[in-house]
Amino acid sequence: MRRLTVATIMLAWAVSNSGCSNAPAANNEQNLKDNPLLAESKLPYSIPALDKIKDADYRPALLRGIEIHNEEIRKIAENNETPTFDNTLVAMESSGTLMRRVLNTFNMVTGANTNEFLSKLKEEVDPMMAVHNDEIFLNQKLFKRVETIYNDREQLQLDPESKRLVEYYYQKFLMAGARLSDPDKTILKQMNEQEALLTAKYSNILLAATKQGALLISDSAQLAGIAETDLAAFAHNASEAGSKGKWLISLQNTTQQPMLQSLSNRSTREALFNASWTRAEKSDSNDTRNIITQIVALRIKKAKLLGFDNFAAWKLQDQMAQKPEAVMDFLSKLQPYAMKKANIEAADIQALIDKQNGGFKLQPYDWDYYAEKVRKAKYDLDESEIKPYFDMNKVLEDGVFYAANLLYGITFKPRHDIPVYQEDVKVYEVFDNDGQPMALYFCDPYKRDNKEGGAWMNNLVDQSHLLNKKPVIYNVCNFTKPAKGQPALISFDDVTTIFHEFGHSLHGLFANQKYPSLSGANTARDFVEFPSQFNEHWSLDPAVLSHYAVHYKTGKPIPASLVEKIRKAATFNKGYSLSELVSASVLDMQWHMLKDTTLVKDVDAFEKNALLSVGMQMTPVPPRYRSTYFKHIWSGYEAGYYAYQWTKMLEEDAYSWFQENGGISRANGQRFRDMILSKGNTEDYMTMFKNFRGHAPDITPMLKDLGMIEK
C-alpha cells in the first residue's frame, strides 16, 4: 500500500467524495467559513459548541488543524538554535491545539452518538492520524533534538515534571521507531496506517454486528422473569426498530448478558447467549474474524521490524509491568485460585439444578440464572429486591457525588445552559473544596444503537497549566433506558460501574499538570484503572450507601438487613468473575505474544488452544469477551487487558491503607488526591504507589477481597 501524506489524503478525500451530496469537499475557504470548530470556543471551559457542530464540519477542521500542526512541528525540527527544553519540548506541548480540539470532540461523538457518515469518516481519520503521528515521531531532525535534551537532562536543572516530560518523549520516539533506517521507517509507516484503518473498520463492523445481533422476541411468555420496567424498555426498543408489539433485547459488549440472570425460560436464555456468542462470526459482512487475523499478522510483523520477539514485548515497555513475562507470571498466580473457586461454585449450581430435577448439565447460559438462585438461597438476596433502591440518577448525585464530597470536598451543580451532543446527556459544574470552579462533567448513561458498548471516561478538554485549560470530563455508560416516566432502576453491578467510571473522572478532574501529555489519566494502562477500581469501594461504605440507596416509590432507606445480605454476598460468584477476566487477559496476551503469522488463520481454534494451554478452558465459564468481539484488544488495550486485574491488586492494597487509617475521611481522601489522583504521569508508577502505601504492591488484599483466601 502506498504511503499517504496529509496532502495526498486531502486530495483523495476531495476526489472520493466529489459525488457524495452530504460529504464536504476538500479543505477550502468555503468549508472553513463559519466552522464552529475552528475558533477557540467562548463557551465555559472552552467546550466546543456541540449544538452548532455539523457532521460536515469535522473533516475540514481536522485537516486545517493538521496543516497548522505540521507547520509548527516543521519549525521546531528545523530550528537552527541549539536544542533546549523550551524551544523543543515545551514548543511541542504547545502545538496542535486546533487538531486536539477537533479530535477530542470527534472521538467523543463517534464513540457515543455516531451515524453512518461519521463511522465512515472515522475509517479515514484513524489512518490519517497514524500517518500524522509517524510524521512527527519518525522525524529524524526532531528526534535528534529530543535525544540531545535527553542526554543532557541531568545537567539542565529541570523540575521533576519537566524531567519526566523529557523521558516521556524520548521513550515515545524510541518506541515509535526513531532509530530505524529510512527504508524501514517507510515500511513501518505503511504498517501503522494499515493497522489504524483495520482497527477503525473493526470497530464499525462490531458496532453493526452488535446492533444486528439483538434478540427479537415475539411471545411475551418467552420473557418470563423479566421485570416490568425492563419489558417496557424492550418493547420500546422493538417499536423503535420497526417491530411494534414485540420485544427487542439489545446486546451488551460482554459475553454474558444482564437479562440472563432473570430469564426463567431456558430456551430464551440459550438464544440470548448464542446471539451474544456468535454476534460477529456469522460469515456475513459483520464477521470480524478475517479482520482480526489481518490485525494480528500486521502486529507480529511490526514487532519484528522494531526489534522485538512479539508485539506484547514492544507494547509493555512503558507500562508498570514492563515485560510479558511479568504479566503471565501475575496471571498464573491468579489462575489456580480462580479455577478452584469457580469449580466449587459450578458444583453448587449443578446441585441446585439436580435438586430441582432440571435434567441437564450446567451451561454458560444457565450460570447467571441459577447463580442468582444459589445466592438467594445462601444469602436470601434477590436482585429484584435490590433494584428498587438504586435509581440511576440518585446513585449518581446522592452516591457518587456525595462520596467525592466526603473524601475530597468537591461539589457539583447541574448546568442546563451547556450544549450537549444528545438529549440524555447531563452536565455538571464541579467546584473544588475552596468553592472555586474547577471542571465540567458530562454523563451519558443510556444505551443506544449508535453508541459503542461498555462504559468509559475521557477528556473533552485536556487540563494543562501551560495552555491555561481546566478539565472537561465525560463518562459514557450503557444502562437500559427506562420507558418515559419510569425510574432508571439498575443492578448493584451497574451501581459499581458508575462508581468505577467516576473514579476515572476523578483522575481527570484532579489533574494538576503543566504539560497536557502528562496530565490526569494519561497514564499507563496498568495504572489507569487503579483510581477507578479504588472508587468502587465507596458504593458500599455505610456513610455513602445510606445517602443514596432509598426506595424509588416510598423513599425509605435500604434496610440494614438487605445491606448485610449484599455485604455477605460480596464474594459470591467471584470464582466465576475472576475466571472470565483471567481468561480474557490470557487470550489477549496469547494473541500478542505470537511470533509466527501462520498461527493466526483460524481465530476460533487459536482461541480454544490459547485457553487450554494455561488451564483456563472451563465450559460453563466462557471468557468475558471472545476474540471476535473483544474490542479492547483490537483498538486500544492490546496486550493490556490484564491491567484490570493488575490494578485491582494496586487498589485493594491501597484500600487496605484506608482501612488501617480510619476509612473514609477528608484527610485520607486528600492524601490519596495529593499522592495519586493529582499526579498524572509525573512520577514512576511503582515509586508513586510505594510512596502512598509504604511498600511494593501486595496481591494478598486482592485475594482476600475476592474471597480466595481467608481475611
Handedness of CA 627, 577, 111, 316 (dihedral sign): negative
Q: Are strands 411-414 and 426-431 parallel, antiparallel or unpaired?
A: antiparallel
Task: Please check whether residue 287 is in contact with residue 201, taking contact to mean a CB–CB distance below 8 angstroms.
Answer: no
C-alpha cell at 288: 470480524
Q: How far apart are CA 576 and CA 620, in angstroms?
A: 9
CA atoms within 13 A on the CB side of 623: 24
Residue type, 103: L
The answer for residues whose C-beta is within 8 angstroms of residue 507's C-beta and 6 or more apart is: 457, 520, 521, 523, 528, 531, 532, 677
The answer for residues whose C-beta is within 8 angstroms of residue 258's C-beta and 6 or more apart is: 252, 480, 491, 493
* Nearest by Cα to 561 from 704, 377, 385, 371: 385
Angle (CA) 517-645-389 rounded to 5° is: 95
Q: Is 710 one of the catalytic residues?
A: no
Task: Please check whether residue 274 is in contact with residue 364, taking contact to mean a CB–CB distance below 8 angstroms.
Answer: no
Q: How many CB atoms lie within 10 A of CB 192?
A: 22
Q: Are strands 472-479 and 437-446 parallel, antiparallel or unpaired?
A: parallel
* Nearest by Cα to 88 from 157, 131, 134, 139: 139
* Nearest by Cα to 249 from 265, 266, 269: 269
The catalytic position among 281, 452, 501, 651 is 501
Q: Are strands 411-414 and 247-249 parallel, antiparallel or unpaired?
A: unpaired
Q: Which residue bears the cell 504507589? A: 689
**Catalytic sites, residue numbers:** 501
